[in-house]
Amino acid sequence: MAAPSTSTSRDLRFLDPAVIARLGTMELKARTVVEGFLSGLHRSPYKGFSVEFAEYRQYLPGDDLSTLDWKVYARTDRHYVKKFEEETNLECHLLLDVSASMAYQGAAPMSKLEYGSVLAASLAFLMNRQRDATGLIAFDDRILFRMPASARPGHLHAILLGLERLEAGRRSDVGRPLHQLADALVKRSLVVLVSDMLDDPEATIKGLKHLKFRGTDIVVFQVLDPNELTFPFRGASRFRDLESAEEVTADPAHVRTAYLRELAGLTLRYDRELRGAGIDYVQLDTSKPLDFALLAYLGARSRRK
């Protein structure tokens, strides 16, 4: 899936995983990503995508003209009215897969877990700017860490600190926390799942559909290393499953076509079944900038309103 260019090259530099990986704390990484993204977004040719929708909505016939914001009109060539705070708040839950397979790092500057953690941190930072109540769940085959959704002062710092301390766990079971969250939610929410989705697709899709059935809006980010996407290996190689420790020796030239066919089939199944259920599905290359992921989140959030 190709990402639209929404930022200048200067802005993309601050979204580049190679740059982000060298930064210190998770808070600094998230702030750098979000501020670089927003800086590029304000200069983007893609009208209608802006963080302004957290505080504004498009003008509708009958709205009080005194609420029109002419500065926004001058920048976007569209009429927006100011929204009251009670119209803007949303409850968001970030679900981060920390299973052993997420520890894989091939050709990218960060492992899938590091990339996913920075993505979750950036989303939390962006949600906080929009006054959304944000929660975090980290899981492998069980829930390892959970913070209920909140917008209180200090909550963002606690989420970022939690993300900074996460380590890879054991086997994955993506469906289990999805069912648990679906049973626990008492109000309509937005759920963002960050995972490599290298699990039983039937169980994963069933869990996501359970959440959707409960009235939850969902964005799924499947994070994969470029090596997993292209299988560039050459010569006889030994491949080890990070979750089962099982090892297989193979000649990549002989298995590449079959591997890529299986991956394409998995991607197609997720894309077809999730989109058919009204769930946003985005596949991400962990060597690529994070702007497309944040743009996809903004699009889902704007449709939620």
pLDDT score recorded for residue 69 = 60
Residue 291's pLDDT band (boundaries 50, 70, 90)?
Answer: confident
Identify the CATH number of the domain in which residue 184 sits. Answer: 3.40.50.410
Q: Which residue has the higher pLDDT, 12 or 86?
A: 12
Looking at the fold, whether 70 and 93 belong to one and the same domain comes out as no
Among 34, 60, 85, residue at a domain's last position: 85
pLDDT score recorded for residue 137 = 94
Task: Give the total number of structural domains in the chain.
Answer: 2
pLDDT score recorded for residue 62 = 54
Quote the CA–CA distance of 187 and 138 in Å, as a whole number.
21
**Per-residue pLDDT for 160 more than 70?**
yes
pLDDT score recorded for residue 245 = 59
In a domain, 46, yes or no: no
pLDDT (average), residues 221-229: 94
pLDDT score recorded for residue 281 = 94
Dump pLDDT digits (tens) for 248-277: 766 677 778 988 999 999 999 999 999 999
Looking at the fold, whether 79 and 112 belong to one and the same domain comes out as no
Q: Are 170 and 99 in contact (CB under 8 A)?
A: yes
pLDDT score recorded for residue 18 = 87
Looking at the fold, whether 275 and 289 belong to one and the same domain comes out as yes
Quote the CA–CA distance of 95 and 217 in Å, as a whole number.
13
Residue 192's pLDDT band (boundaries 50, 70, 90)?
Answer: very high
Looking at the fold, whether 172 and 216 belong to one and the same domain comes out as yes
Quote the CA–CA distance of 125 and 68 in Å, as a whole number.
28
pLDDT score recorded for residue 84 = 41
Question: Over pLDDT 90: what percentage of the chain?
Answer: 41
Dump pLDDT digits (tens) for 125-143: 988 888 889 999 999 988 9
Residue 114's pLDDT band (boundaries 50, 70, 90)?
Answer: very high
Residue 94's pLDDT band (boundaries 50, 70, 90)?
Answer: very high
**Per-residue pLDDT for 15 more than 80?**
no
In a domain, 3, yes or no: no
Domain that residue 262 falls in: 89-304
In a domain, 39, yes or no: no
Dump pLDDT digits (tens) for 32-88: 888 888 877 655 544 444 444 444 555 555 555 555 565 655 556 665 555 544 444
pLDDT (average), residues 91-117: 93
Quote the CA–CA distance of 256 and 259 in Å, as a whole number.
5
Among 29, 60, 85, residue at a domain's last position: 85
Looking at the fold, whether 121 and 246 belong to one and the same domain comes out as yes
Looking at the fold, whether 65 and 155 belong to one and the same domain comes out as no
Looking at the fold, whether 220 and 273 belong to one and the same domain comes out as yes
Looking at the fold, whether 81 and 95 belong to one and the same domain comes out as no
Q: Are 29 and 23 in contact (CB under 8 A)?
A: yes
Q: How far apart are the first and last CA of the chain?
A: 26
In a domain, 36, yes or no: no
pLDDT score recorded for residue 132 = 86
Looking at the fold, whether 252 and 299 belong to one and the same domain comes out as yes
Compute the mean pLDDT over every residue in the chain, rounded to the nearest whole number: 80
Looking at the fold, whether 70 and 182 belong to one and the same domain comes out as no
Q: Which residue has the higher pLDDT, 243 or 110?
A: 110
User: Cα 156 from chain centroid?
Assistant: 17
Looking at the fold, whether 155 and 284 belong to one and the same domain comes out as yes
pLDDT score recorded for residue 298 = 79
| Three-state secondary-structure class, residue 218 | strand
In a domain, 295, yes or no: yes
pLDDT score recorded for residue 130 = 80
Cα atoms in the Cβ-side hemisphere of radius 13 Å centred on 224: 19
Among 64, 85, 106, residue at a domain's last position: 85
Specify the pairing of strand 237-240 against strand 91-97.
unpaired
pLDDT (average), residues 166-192: 86
Quote the CA–CA distance of 33 and 30 in Å, as a whole number.
5
Looking at the fold, whether 61 and 182 belong to one and the same domain comes out as no
In a domain, 9, yes or no: no
- 171-196 per-residue burial string, b: 16 or more CB within 10 A, e: under 16: ebbbbbbbebbbeebeeebbbbbbbb
pLDDT score recorded for residue 60 = 57
Nearest CA among 298, 277, 105 for reference residue 204: 277
pLDDT (average), residues 176-192: 86
pLDDT score recorded for residue 136 = 95
